[in-house]
Structures are given as structure tokens and as C-alpha cells.
Amino acid sequence: GKALHDALQKTWEKETRKLQIYGVLKARKGEPLALQLWDNMGSSVYVTGEMVQEASNQPTAVEKLRQQIEKMGATPFALADLDVQADENIYVGISNLNQIRRDAAEALEQAMLKKTKRKNMERGEAPRQAKEPRLLKKKLHVLVSNLEQLDAAVKQKGVERIYVESTMELEEHLADVIAKCRRYDVACYAALPRVDRERPEDESRLQRFLESDLDGFLVRSAGQFGAVKNSGKKITADYNLNVVNREAVLFWQEQGADNVCLSVENNLQEIRAMADSSCEMVVYGYLPLMTTQQCPIGNFAGEKHSGQYCKKRWNQDLYFLRDRKGEKFPLMTDCERCVCSILNGKPLFALKFYDEVLDNAVGSVRLNFTKEGPARVERIVRAYAEMTKDTAHCSAETRALLQQMSEKGSTKGHFFRGVE
């Protein structure tokens, strides 16, 4: 009896830390899939999904419908009771079910936040039993674009490694930067330039880096890889080296990469199929859509003439490109090399679905910082550090960030694209 009692006790304890909610799922032929969720405190939401189809061969079983909707994973909820009202012989895609579950849980969370700012919304502090703890334990790495960001990130508990973009600033303060990282017990890597322009300055800088006490390099081209391969320092192959499948991961590992960062184009299913513990994945950042030597700032605002730098060189103002829908895309200049990255207007922000995102074998996750100020860097690193340590732990500060990001808009990236 004791073993059974303990097992029951565990499931009971696990569930009671989550808010009990109730639901009705309607799957009627020719109508949109509909899910209603409510709690005991008077909050209720109703969301609809895609049309329910007639099954051509394999009908979706009621059990399957129930199973997908009950997966409340990273949410603060547990479904105490779900009433499934389904027609015979219907087909509902799993991605449709996942989507409606996510939408409804998010809507209910918003409804409750509006209704109550009370303390009881905070999720229980005790960690849940993870499916496979081995899969969920990740190391936190941070990429910074300047030393101000480095100062903000290096002090945060939980950061294991910092990649610093290869700038003049880094070269000038190299000894200090390395000493600071050592003081906080953080590994320090130089991130080599995204666009190789074969400049003598970059060559001599790399030489200094190779002779320094840097721990390693983040490498963004095959040429760079060759140049640091026998340095005795650690090497991370960045995601732009076309790391889109298991073969690519193995290829760079055979070349001598200690870590391989997976392409930001991959969805979670693909990541599960290709990752191992030496892999890293990007879980935050305004990602570059393209990097160009035709810098829009130089061409439009800086009166650029061929062969010389423009008047706006080193200008720190925030410039944006605006598309015809009015979306704004921040511009990130590298005035030293006279190239410009056009960044996504919304940041990739994976905390909302962190349980699902971390459910794979990668050994580390990475935050990319571009235009963020130091206070922002600090907030984001803190939230990710807290939830990387334990996805069930979500402080009031992190909740506020989640809330703010959902109002401001962020992207789930490609993680949920085409995932069945």
C-alpha cells in the first residue's frame, strides 16, 4: 500500500501546485473546433480553431482529443475536468489541437490577470517532476554586442558563457573583459564578424585574440573555422553555418567544433531529431533578417559616396526600416566594417512556451542581445536564468516581463512552424 500511497501523494502534490480549471471541447463536423475554459473564481474564455473535417481514413479518437488538450505543460493550469463533445468520424490535426489549447490557456491567464492582481496567481515555487530531468537541465549562454551589455549580463547568476562581438572596443579592453568574466566565473568567447571583409584590422585582431586568455570563439564562416581550428581554444559553430539537420551537426563536430548552434529556422520537431548535449539553441533575440553592405542609413541619411564612410558613421541613434504594413525593423550597424543588419521587428521570445522549447537534448540555450540597453539585458537574463534553472519557477518579476512581452509583441520564431 505504501508505494501506491506515495505515488498518489506525488501526483496529488504535483497537480495541486497548479490552478484547477475546467473545460469543454466541441468538435462538430463543418464547425470550427471550439474550446471553453474556466476556473472557480469566475473567469471564463471561449476560443475557436480551424474547421473540423470529416475523416477520409483515420478518424481522430476522442481519447486523442482529450490527451492533447490536457497537456497543460508550461501553463499554471491543470485541467481537473474536460468534457469532450465530438461527432463520429471526424479528423482534427494535432497542431490544431495544440494551437487551440495554447490560445485558450493564454486567454484564460490574461482574463485572470485582469481580474485579480492577487498573490495567489503566483505559481507554486516547488519544482515539478520533469519528464526527463536530463533533457531539461540547460546551460545559459549570452551573446552581447557591446561592453555595456557585457557588464549587465556577466553579474547575473546562472550565466555560464558570454560571447562578445569582435569590436575595436573588445580589442582595446580585452584584458579587462577577460578578467571580469573570470571574476564572475563566466567563460569568455570572442564572436567573430558575421561578414568577413578580409580586413587587415580583423586579421591582426584575431591574432591578438589567439594569443590572449580568451576561452574560445564563436565562428561564423568556414574560413574563420580554419583560422582558429588549431588554437587549442574552444569553438562554437554559429547557426548561420547552415546547421539545419543532424548531418550538419555531425559535420561541424568532426571539423572540431566543441559546440554547434542550431539554425533558427528549425522547428521543435527538427530540433529534437538533431540535437545532442553539445548543441546550443537561440531562445531570445532580435534576429537579423539580412546583413548587407548596402547600409540603408548610409544610403539615405548619411550621404554615402562610393569608397568612403558616411556622415552617420558611429551614430548611436535608433534607425528603423518601415514596410508597407507599417512594421518597423531596427537597423544594427557595424560601422567599423561598414555593414548593416536588418533585424526582425519583434524579438524571438521563448519563455512563454519554455517547457515545450526545452524538451529536447540541447545542452545550452543562448540569448542574443543587439540594441537592448543594460537594464533590459539584466531583466531578460534574470528571467531566462530563473526559468532555465527550473521552468516551474516564475517570479512576479518574470510574470511581469511575460505580460509586457505579450502586449508589446514577440515571435515564437520557427519553433512551432509546421509542427504536427
In degrees, rounded to 5, the angle at the alpha carbon of residue 408 between the alpha carbons of residues 140 and 116 is 90
Closest among 257, 238, 183, 179 to 213, alpha carbons compared = 179
Query: Quick one: CA torsion of 198, 202, 203, 204, rounded to 10 degrees?
Result: 150
Would you give the end-to-end CA distance of the chain in angstroms?
41
Contact between 343 and 332 under an 8 Å Cβ cutoff? The reply is: yes
Calculate the CA 358 to chain-centre distance. 9
pLDDT score recorded for residue 388: 92
Domain limits, the chain: 18-121, 133-287+344-408
Task: State the cell numbers at 28.
Answer: 462538430
DSSP state string for 147-188: HHHHHHHHTSTTEEEEEEE--HHHHHTHHHHHHHHHHTT-EE
Per-residue pLDDT tens, the chain, 420 aa: give them: 777 776 666 665 554 567 888 899 999 988 889 999 988 777 888 888 888 989 888 889 989 999 999 988 778 888 888 989 999 899 998 888 999 999 999 889 888 887 664 434 344 433 333 344 445 689 999 999 999 999 999 999 999 999 999 999 999 999 999 999 999 999 999 999 887 777 888 889 999 999 999 999 999 999 999 999 999 999 999 999 989 999 999 999 999 999 999 999 999 989 988 898 899 999 999 998 887 777 777 666 666 766 666 777 667 767 768 878 888 888 887 767 778 888 888 999 999 889 888 888 899 999 999 989 999 999 999 999 999 988 877 899 999 999 988 888 888 888 888 744
pLDDT score recorded for residue 299: 67
What lies within 8 Å, CB to CB, of 172 at 6+ separation is: none
Bridge partner list, 259: 236
pLDDT score recorded for residue 314: 65
Closest among 404, 298, 316 to 352, alpha carbons compared = 404
pLDDT score recorded for residue 261: 97
Cα distance between residue 85 and residue 131, in whole Å = 30
For 320-411, list the strands marked E by DSSP: 320-322, 328-334, 339-343, 348-349, 364-368
| pTM value > 0.85 | no
pLDDT score recorded for residue 379: 95
Residue written as grid cell 584584458? 175
Cβ neighbourhood burial of 9 (10 Å; 0-12, 13-18, 19+): exposed
Max Cα-Cα span within the chain: 83
Q: Which CATH class is domain 133-287+344-408?
A: alpha beta
User: Containing H/E element for 51?
Assistant: strand 44-51
Bridge partner list, 321: 329
pLDDT score recorded for residue 120: 41
